[in-house]
């Protein structure tokens, strides 16, 4: 995670709750002290990401993903590209200027996110990946509304809603099938390729995804 601003902090907190190991890099020493106090489970580095020795010294190239969220979008793009070149599997860069979006895509960055397109929600979508089509934080982050593409061999495929025991605090709000939007009742049977919109408390978001993913 590059940048400990509002977006960087939010995504860091989310990843920690998912049980992920997070290394957060920020150039501001005083800010790093606050980040260390707020996120004791994360490794906070007060460093300049443009220093290539940092990747070797901290073994950053072994990370599964790099997410760049500083206020300097040129740095976000360059750091994401460099991270990919060093072997990091996925790169997500926060980019404000619309003309930078296509440039970043052409440089091999997996995902470019614009604050104008709801930064945090878009980043969470790319982090969750898999069969998640979209995800939105609501009620100040206390709940999520997500859209899943239901796999044919998912645990809930072929089952009526009344027979599905979702995590506590979770609901299936609607289903899109063959272009039709349906508000299902308890007898409604889910099928592969359905687009399912769900509501859940933030603590159940991770466990909910497995119900709609392939085995």
The CATH number assigned to the domain holding 183 equals 3.30.70.1450
- Over residues 67-80, mean pLDDT: 90
CATH code at position 99? 3.40.50.720
Please tell me whether residues 17 and 122 are part of one structural domain.
Answer: yes
- β pairing state of 90-94 and 23-26: unpaired
Same domain, yes or no: 31 and 116: yes
Q: Output the furthest CA–CA distance in the chain (Å, rounded).
A: 59
43 domain residue, yes or no: yes
Q: Are residues 124 and 140 in the same domain?
A: no
Q: Does residue 94 share a domain with residue 11?
A: yes
- Domain around 109: 6-128
Question: Which of 18-22, 52-56, 71-75 is predicted least confidently?
Answer: 52-56
| Per-residue model confidence as pLDDT tens digits over 112-146 | 777 655 555 555 655 555 566 666 666 666 777 77
* CA–CA dist 85, 67 (Å, integer): 14
Domain stops at, among 74, 104, 128: 128
- Domain identity same for 136 and 120: no
Number of domains in the chain: 2
Query: Residue 191 half-sphere exposure, CB side, CA atoms within 13 Å?
Result: 5
The pTM assigned to this predicted structure is: 0.56
Q: Look at residue 193 and tell me if it is in a domain.
A: yes
pLDDT for 136: 65
d(CA 61, CA 183): 46
Q: Which of 98, 128, 158 is the last residue of a domain?
A: 128
Per-residue pLDDT band at 43 (split at 50, 70, 90): very high
pLDDT recorded at residue 30: 95
- Please indicate, yes or no, whether residues 167 and 148 belong to a single structural domain of this protein: yes
Same domain, 158 and 120: no
Burial tier of 163 (Cβ tally within 10 Å: 0-12, 13-18, 19+): exposed
The predicted pLDDT at position 116 comes to 58
Q: Which of 36-45, 81-90, 116-125 has the highest mean pLDDT?
A: 36-45
Higher pLDDT: 36 or 96? It is: 36
128, 154, 184 - which closes a domain: 128
Band of pLDDT at residue 205, cut at 50, 70 and 90: confident
Residues 124 and 45 in one domain: yes
Domain-located, residue 214? no
Average pLDDT across the chain, whole number = 83
Bigger pLDDT: 17 vs 23: 23
């Amino acid at each position: 995670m590059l940048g400990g601003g509002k977006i960087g902090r939010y995504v860091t907190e989310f990843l920690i709750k998912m049980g992920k190991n997070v290394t957060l890099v920020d150039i501001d020493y005083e800010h790093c002290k606050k980040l260390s106090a707020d996120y004791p489970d994360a490794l906070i580095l007060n460093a300049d990401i443009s220093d290539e020795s940092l990747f070797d010294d901290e073994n950053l190239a072994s990370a599964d993903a790099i997410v760049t969220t500083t206020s300097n979008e040129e740095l976000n793009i360059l750091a994401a590209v460099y991270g990919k070149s060093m072997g990091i599997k996925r790169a997500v860069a926060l980019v404000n200027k619309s003309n930078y979006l296509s440039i970043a895509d052409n440089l091999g960055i997996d995902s470019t996110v614009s604050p104008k397109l709801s930064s945090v929600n878009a980043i969470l979508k790319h982090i969750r990946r898999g069969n998640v089509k979209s995800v939105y934080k609501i009620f100040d982050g206390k709940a999520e509304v997500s859209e899943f593409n239901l796999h044919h061999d998912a645990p809930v495929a072929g089952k009526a809603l009344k027979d599905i025991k979702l995590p506590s605090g979770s609901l299936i709000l609607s289903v899109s099938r063959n272009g039709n939007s349906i508000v299902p009742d308890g007898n409604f049977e889910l099928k592969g390729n359905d687009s399912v919109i769900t509501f859940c408390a933030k603590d159940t978001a991770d466990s909910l995804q497995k119900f709609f993913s392939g085995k």
